[in-house]
């Protein structure tokens, strides 16, 4: 049976999401060249993956409101799979470039997340250790 959603977690996620979407819009708004939007979106997604890795590595299962606001909310709103998919689809006239962009996005995103997890765990002084819920502060 699904657990009910905590209204505080939902509120933190929505507020964080608004901040993340606004940040992405502010970065993309001045980009005048439509072909550059795909590369800027690529950068946003890689940076967001890195930052999400930091948040997850740092907070782990602790501070659920902060993790919801920063992780699911802000970084979920900041990064965008749909814009990545559309940008790749728009490049279909150059299939090798479209495939390269798609592959680079996935590889760089996963790489960023791995580096972020490493950094987040170092910040929290728990390198590689997953804290059990009963040990959480």
Residues making up the annotated binding site are 76, 79
Q: Which residues contact 53 (CB under 8 A, 6 or more apart)?
A: 112, 113, 114, 115, 116, 117, 118, 119, 120
Sequence ranges of the binding site for Na(+): 76, 79
Number of neighbouring beta carbons within 10 Å of residue 84 = 20
Sign of CA dihedral 88, 18, 58, 64: negative
Q: In the 8-state DSSP scheme, what is residue 4?
A: P
- Whether residue 77 contacts residue 20, with contact meaning beta carbons closer than 8 Å, is answered with yes
């Amino acid at each position: 049976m699904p657990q009910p959603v905590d209204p505080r977690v939902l509120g933190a996620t929505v507020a964080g999401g608004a901040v993340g979407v606004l940040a992405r819009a502010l970065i993309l708004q001045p980009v005048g060249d439509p072909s550059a939007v795909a590369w800027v979106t690529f950068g946003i997604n890689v940076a967001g993956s890195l930052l999400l890795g930091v948040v997850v590595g740092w907070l782990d299962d602790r501070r659920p409101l902060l993790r919801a606001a920063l992780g699911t909310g802000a970084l979920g709103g900041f990064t965008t799979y749909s814009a990545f998919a559309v940008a790749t689809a728009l490049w279909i006239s150059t299939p090798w470039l479209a495939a390269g962009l798609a592959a680079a996005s996935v590889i760089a995103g996963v790489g960023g997340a791995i580096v972020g997890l490493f950094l987040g765990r170092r910040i929290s002084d728990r390198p590689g250790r997953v804290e059990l819920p009963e040990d959480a502060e």
